[in-house]
């Protein structure tokens, strides 16, 4: 059997369809099917149960797929070792970034990175954390930037910075007169939240709920953007919390409505995450060092309390 044949097996296992897998591998469907059949004949087993729709792995097929992932990763590592030995930092690199980090962090480091490492072709996707984890494990991303800790044994994390939560409180609110606020000043039922799927939303719920349920009798407004939440707060519909970096570009009139938390300030941990296979580490290190250079001046908070992005059970 060959590495290419194993790659075909992994493609079918992921897409559960021979035609789609062939498209993703840039070969014809008969070619892909024939190569997989050759492996099955060589091993005298069936990897896939073709009678089911969508196609399913057999029990032994699942074990073969698990091992095939290791083999393909190790084959990729050989190329990686050679590139590192040559000191080469280049090639295609697929990076995922969560939506609440993308608009603030990416403009801060991208221009510096592409100037310093012109041979790297960055392919950047905006994805939520769940999508990122799946794509990292399936080999469709090389690394990602997300809120951590994720407590996933198959993923490694390098902390980039800690980003405090900042409250946005309009003039009519009773906490507006306070110079600094505490978590106890917040009422979860009046905080305008991002919609489901955003880990920043889960962080706010972890920070504020204290074991109580959100009041379902009051109206609830959830949005996909901080800009919308700010406008709704200004209309008297509640307050909201923002990541610190997002507050830097607000209008001066809106900055007057920002309130920092007392120390230790609740914050999210932002990390560069990647699979345990540790491929393309020279590019991962280059991204890390570039980001470290630009956030040093913007993020200077030390006394913080990390709020988990994981949903509480």
Give the pTM.
Answer: 0.80
CA distance 29 to 272: 37
One of 1.10.3210.10, 1.10.10.10, 2.40.50.140, 1.10.510.10 is the CATH number of 1-81, namely 1.10.10.10
Q: Give CATH 1.10.10.10 domain extents, the chain.
A: 1-81
Backbone angles phi, psi at 175, to 5 degrees: -90, 0
Instruction: Please tell me the predicted confidence (pLDDT) of residue 211.
Output: 43
Return the pLDDT at 216: 46
**Cα dihedral angle (166, 270, 162, 299), rounded to 10 degrees?**
-80
pLDDT of residue 221: 59
pLDDT at 138: 86
User: Domain 88-160+266-301 classified CATH 3.30.413.10?
Assistant: no
pLDDT band at 313 (very low <50, low <70, confident <90, very high): low
CB count within 10 Å of CB 120 equals: 19
State residue 205's pLDDT score.
Answer: 86
Indicate where the chain has its CATH 3.40.190.10 domain(s): 88-160+266-301, 162-211+219-264
Domain 162-211+219-264 fold is: D-Maltodextrin-Binding Protein; domain 2 (3.40.190)
pLDDT band at residue 220 under the 50/70/90 scheme: low
**CA separation for the pair 280, 285 (Å, rounded):** 9
């Amino acid at each position: 059997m060959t590495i290419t044949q194993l790659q075909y097996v992994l493609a079918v296992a992921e897409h559960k369809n021979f035609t789609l897998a062939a498209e993703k591998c840039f070969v014809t469907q008969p070619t892909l099917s024939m190569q997989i059949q050759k492996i099955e004949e060589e091993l005298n087993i069936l990897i896939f149960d073709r009678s089911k729709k969508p196609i399913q792995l057999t029990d032994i097929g699942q074990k073969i797929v698990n091992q095939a992932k290791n083999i393909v990763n190790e084959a990729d590592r050989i190329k990686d070792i050679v590139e590192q030995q040559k000191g080469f930092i280049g090639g295609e690199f697929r990076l995922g970034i969560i939506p609440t980090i993308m608009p603030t962090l990416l403009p801060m480091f991208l221009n510096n990175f592409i100037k310093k490492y012109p041979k790297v072709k960055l392919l950047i996707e905006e994805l939520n954390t769940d999508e990122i984890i799946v794509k990292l494990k399936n080999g469709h991303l090389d690394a990602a930037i997300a809120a951590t800790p994720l407590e996933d044994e198959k993923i490694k994390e390098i902390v980039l910075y800690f980003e405090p939560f900042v409250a946005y409180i309009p003039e009519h609110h009773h906490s507006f007169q306070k110079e600094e606020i505490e978590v106890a000043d917040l009422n979860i039922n009046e905080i305008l939240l991002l919609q489901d799927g955003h880990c920043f939303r889960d962080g706010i719920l972890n920070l504020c709920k204290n074991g109580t349920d959100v009041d379902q009798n009051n109206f609830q407004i959830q949005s996909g953007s901080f800009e919308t939440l700010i406008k709704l707060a200004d209309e008297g519909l509640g307050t909201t919390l923002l990541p610190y970096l997002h507050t830097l570009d607000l209008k001066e009139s809106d900055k007057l409505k920002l309130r920092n938390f007392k120390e230790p300030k609740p914050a999210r941990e932002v990390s560069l995450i990647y699979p345990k296979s540790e491929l393309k580490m020279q590019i991962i290190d280059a991204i890390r060092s570039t980001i470290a250079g630009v956030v040093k001046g913007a993020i200077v908070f030390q006394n913080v309390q990390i709020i988990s992005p994981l949903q509480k059970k």
